[in-house]
Amino acid sequence: MSPLVLFHLAALLLLAFGLYGLTSRRSLVGMLISVELMLNGAGLALVASARLTPASDELGQLGTLLVMGLAAAEATLVLAMVLVAAKRWGSSASDRLSMLKG
Amino acid sequence: MEQLAYAAYGFYLVLILAGGWAAVRCRDLVRALLGLIMTLFGVAGMYFLMAAPFMALMQILIYVGAVSVLIFFAVMLTRAPGGDAGQEDEERRPARRAVLALLSGVLPAAILAAVVLTQSPQALALKPELPLARLGQMLTGPYVLAFELISVVLLAAMAGAVVLGFERRKGA
């Protein structure tokens, strides 16, 4: 197998882990961890494609940098939302958040 | 030298596998977070292997340095009254949930893996390392709009987090 395929398979492994965790976790923080796994897989696939194919190297690396920035923003916002949910329902388990109007 | 590269790839893959397993399976959220950090280091090693050291260092700086600390704060601040910090609830039907989650995780990845294995183009030899100055030129030249937008998004996220976390004073 070529190095490109190997790196892409590692990225897909991260995607599988992330999707599995996102569907099986019961707490919002656990789901956030799974989302970070998936975003990392996306970055890995982007950089591998940029480095090992004729595609523009700068574009791939800058794209991954933007993905990292978005992940940081998303983690900040999710932290605040989890805090609000935990304060209102007394727990951060996703099953408790079934009310439409609090 | 090539054998050495494959050995390094295998080592990083083991880091990713073990860390990912811990991140999605551990009931203790602090252990899951440690698994995530292990995975992040594995991915950073893969960036080094691709001769993209800037990406590897940014990965360690942003993910390991900032994002995982944020997640640790989330674990710490959301514990149930009387309960331990960062424990997940007991499952009602754990086997069924695990099987369905496995299906939803593996199926899309398997379809994409089939595409990768059959359609992947021939990999080139590794290009020479991209100088950091070139990235800076691109970021302040053609992609300046994306650069500005990501800072606006970050600012909006910070402001939103402050607004959500703000507690109104009683009686004010």
Test the A interface: residue of B4, B41, B43, B61 with most A CBs within 10 Å: B43
Looking at the structure of chain B, the number of domains it has is 3
A37 near A25, Cβ under 8 Å? no
Q: What is the CATH number of the domain that holds B44?
A: 1.20.120.1200
**pLDDT (tens digit per residue) in A57-70:** 889 999 999 999 99
Residues of B (3-32) whose Cβ lies below 8 Å from A:
5, 9, 12-13, 16-17, 20-21, 23-24, 29, 32
**pLDDT in 10s for each residue of chain B, 172 residues:** 788 999 999 999 999 999 999 999 888 889 999 999 999 999 999 999 999 999 999 999 999 999 999 999 888 888 766 666 666 766 667 788 888 888 998 999 999 999 988 987 777 777 888 889 999 999 898 999 999 999 999 999 999 988 888 776 665 4
- A75·B104 Cβ contact <8 A: no
Q: Are residues B104 and B156 in the same domain?
A: no
Give the residues across from A27 on adjacent strands.
A93
**Which residues in chain B have their CB less than 8 angstroms from residue A88's CB?**
none
Nearest CA in chain B to A17: B20
Report yes or no on A22 lying in a domain.
yes
Same domain, B37 and B96: no
Per the structure, how many domains does chain A have?
1
Residues B15 and B82 in one domain: yes
Domain assignment of residue A69, yes or no = yes
B71–A29 CB contact, under 8 Å: yes
pLDDT confidence band for A1 (50 / 70 / 90): confident
Q: Are residues B95 and B38 in the same domain?
A: no
Query: In terms of residue numbers, what domain contains B113?
Result: 90-118
Q: Is residue A101 part of a domain?
A: no
Query: Is residue A51 in some structural domain?
Result: yes
Phi, psi of A93, deg, nearest 5: -80, 135
CA angle B64, B70, B73 (to 5 degrees): 125
What pLDDT is recorded for position B90?
65
B112 and B156 assigned to the same domain: no
Cα separation, B61 vs B65, in Å, equals: 5
What pLDDT is attached to residue B169? 64
At residue B33, the pLDDT reads 94
Whether residues B83 and B1 share a domain: the answer is yes
Integer Cα distance of B139 and B3 in angstroms: 36
CA gap B43, A12 in Å, rounded: 12
B70 and B98 in a common domain: no
Å from A39 to nearest chain B CA? 11
CATH code at position A70: 1.10.287.3510
Answer yes or no: do B38 and B105 share one domain. no
pLDDT at A12: 95
Chain A (1-40) residues lying within 8 Å, Cβ to Cβ, of chain B: 2-10, 12-21, 23-30, 32-34, 36-37, 40
* pLDDT at A87 (0 to 100): 80
Please indicate, yes or no, whether residues B22 and B63 belong to a single structural domain of this protein.
yes
Chain B, 73 to 102: residues with Cβ < 8 Å from chain A are: 73-75, 77-78, 80-81, 86, 88-89, 91, 97-98, 100-102
> What 3-state DSSP class applies to B37?
helix
B54 and B80, same domain (yes or no) = yes
ipTM: 0.90
Residues B51 and B31 placed together within one structural domain of the fold: yes
Same domain, B81 and B102: no
HSE-up of A8 (CA within 13 Å, CB side)?
24
* Domain assignment of residue A53, given as a range: 3-96
Q: Is residue A70 one of the residues assigned to a domain?
A: yes
Is the residue at B96 inside a domain?
yes
